Amino acid sequence: MARTAGSHSDITGPRVREAALRLFARGGYAAVSMRAIAAEVGVQAGALYNYTPDKQSLLFDLMEGHMTELLAASRDDANLGPETRLHDFVAFHIEFHHARADAVFIAYMELRNLTPANFARIEALRREYEDGLEAILRDGVAAGDFNVADTKIATLAIIAMLTGVNTWFRDGGRLSLREVTAQYWDMVRRAVI
């Protein structure tokens, strides 16, 4: 056998990325073999190399894609008041990260499996995202609305706190994501105002 009936790169390509995302998130990059990804797609291992030059690129592309989408989706209107902007950031962060738990998990857990060059590129994107929140905090401090001693520390503290939702929240649990968001917003607001 060779080419299979119905095979097409527009279909197989996305399926390869989806399978890799799911398996990397569940088992970790190093523990997932190319053959395991291929089996999930329903293809032989060799076929994966039509869609990625190597395993490392597959990981990097997933991470870069996630970070790029995160930056594209996160918008901030500097014309709004600092408190509104901060609230929107909190709600956006929780919602976006909840909707892409696998990608978030990989982006935070597999950094050490990137080559140094790839690591630097992902880190730059992460810093860009952090800078968005820090700008809100700085503007709030400048306007006299926020009381924050060190905006860099507050930025990292808030992001760590919000991202932590992903480690425990499950749909259908005691609280809805809306309720959880409200509570986190309440804590963030009081911590910086």
Partner DNA sequence: TTACTTTTTGAACATCTGTTCAGATAGTCG
Partner DNA sequence: CGACTATCTGAACAGATGTTCAAAAAGTAA
List interacting residues with a copy of itself (CB under 8 A).
26-31, 109, 112-113, 149-150, 153-154, 156-161, 163-164, 167-168, 175, 180, 183-184, 186-188, 190-192
Find the binder of DNA among 17, 23, 25, 55 (CB under 7 A).
Answer: 55
Q: Should residue 32 be labelled a site residue for DNA when binding is judged by CB under 7 A? A: yes
Measure the CA–CA gap between 132 and 89, rounded to whole angstroms: 9
- Which residue's CB is nearer to a copy of itself, number 39 or number 111? 111
- Which residue's CB is nearer to a copy of itself, number 43 or number 122? 122
Q: Should residue 22 be labelled a site residue for DNA when binding is judged by CB under 7 A? A: no
- Residue 80 interacts, among DNA, a copy of itself, none and using kind-specific CB cut-offs from 5 to 8 Å, with none
- Which residue's CB is nearer to a copy of itself, number 27 or number 46? 27
Measure the CA–CA gap between 82 and 188, rounded to whole angstroms: 13
Buried b / exposed e over 137-159, threshold 16 CB at 10 Å, is bbbbbeeeebebeebeebbeebb
